[in-house]
Amino acid sequence: MTVVVALLVGFVTVRFLRVASTDFLRAPALQRENFRGVSIPTAAGVFLVLALLIVEGGRAVLGALGVGPETGLTLPRSEVLFAVFGFGFLGLVDDLVGVGDDRGFRGHLGALRRGRVTTGLLKLVGGVCVAVVLVATPGFKSGRTLLVDGVLIALAANLGNLLDRAPGRTIKAAFVVYVPLALFLGDGPTGVAIAVVMGAAFGLFADDVRERLMLGDTGANVIGAVLGLAVVLGTSETTRLVVMLSLVALNVAAELVSFSRVIDEVPPLRAFDRAGRRRASPAQQPPNPPDRGPRSPEPRMPGGTVDRSLRRRQ
């Protein structure tokens, strides 16, 4: 029951922030083209950070007044706060100032070999550091455990970003992962700690899937990291090792194949992926959106001039 209340509180809080932030979302710095070339606000994941901050601040005040069973932050809640702020900050930097088409580990390492440090590489390295701090916080761990848990959280955050190539996809995938995880964790401290963030994420689903905003790296990284952290805090070492190896396989696979193409070629996955999304004509939406981030290349006419007619029709 406590988890359900936390989910609802996160959902309601993020909806309030969303409704109250219309002018904020119109800021030119947030406007990006999605995979169909439509300009919409990105970095909406910042609402997840703000929602968690508001809820935890409220819980702290109520606890000081003697309301509720806890008077301060539990360790899982502190860990979730740090994860959300750490990965949210790194994602926001990439959303706002990221440039270039370098994608994936190979793209960022290739840019580094050419003497250029991308914001994506900074996000990857920073994410690893945040993950290591998170898993080291409870106390001393062996090198093997520290490595497994840190890599698990960092790769979970990166997978959340890799899936954010189509409207609603990351949140749908998060729902599939979260439901069994929530049933396993129950009303324990970890289950309650992550419920606010997941409730807030589900509160952004309608806007995300209907292309009114994009989570951006800010939101996708936060959602993935929080789910990874929940696995680290709430499951056995064997389970964490299996999950970590699975995440390694998925992240490596993303370097070799297009998730969008695989999803589109498997009917059940395609139906699930497209559920709730806006219908678009073939001229507006390619059948296999490339896994290259939200920005699509400008349509060009013979001779190299940019064809603006497609964008005017959208």
- Spell out, as residue ranges, where the chain has pLDDT lower than 50: 287, 289-290, 292-314
pLDDT of residue 36: 80
Query: What whole-number distance in Å separates Cα of residue 184 and Cα of residue 243?
Result: 15
171 burial via Cβ count (<10 Å: 0-12, 13-18, 19+): buried
The answer to whether 261 touches 237, Cβ cutoff 8 Å, is no
pLDDT of residue 170: 96
Domain boundaries, the chain: 2-276+288-313
- Residue carrying structure tokens 């300009």: 39
305 burial via Cβ count (<10 Å: 0-12, 13-18, 19+): exposed
Query: What whole-number distance in Å separates Cα of residue 59 and Cα of residue 184?
Result: 24
Q: What is the pLDDT of residues 264-301, one digit of tens each?
A: 999 999 999 999 888 765 555 554 544 544 443 444 44
pLDDT of residue 300: 44
The answer to whether 260 touches 131, Cβ cutoff 8 Å, is no
Query: What whole-number distance in Å separates Cα of residue 219 and Cα of residue 170?
Result: 9
Q: Radius of gyration over alpha carbons of the chain, in Å?
A: 20
Whole-model pTM over 0.85: no
Query: What whole-number distance in Å separates Cα of residue 62 and Cα of residue 89?
Result: 28
Q: What is the pLDDT of residues 59-94, one digit of tens each?
A: 888 877 877 666 677 889 999 999 999 999 999 988
Tokens of 71: 């008077």
- The separation between CA 292 and the C-alpha centre of its own chain, rounded to angstroms, equals 16
**Exposure class string for 36-57: b at 16+ Cβ within 10 A, else e:** bbbebbbbbbbbbbbbbebbbe
Give the angle 286-105-197 at the CA atoms, nearest 5°.
75
Evaluate the CA torsion angle 217, 219, 223, 225 in order and state its sign: positive
Query: What whole-number distance in Å separates Cα of residue 278 and Cα of residue 271?
Result: 13
pLDDT of residue 71: 63
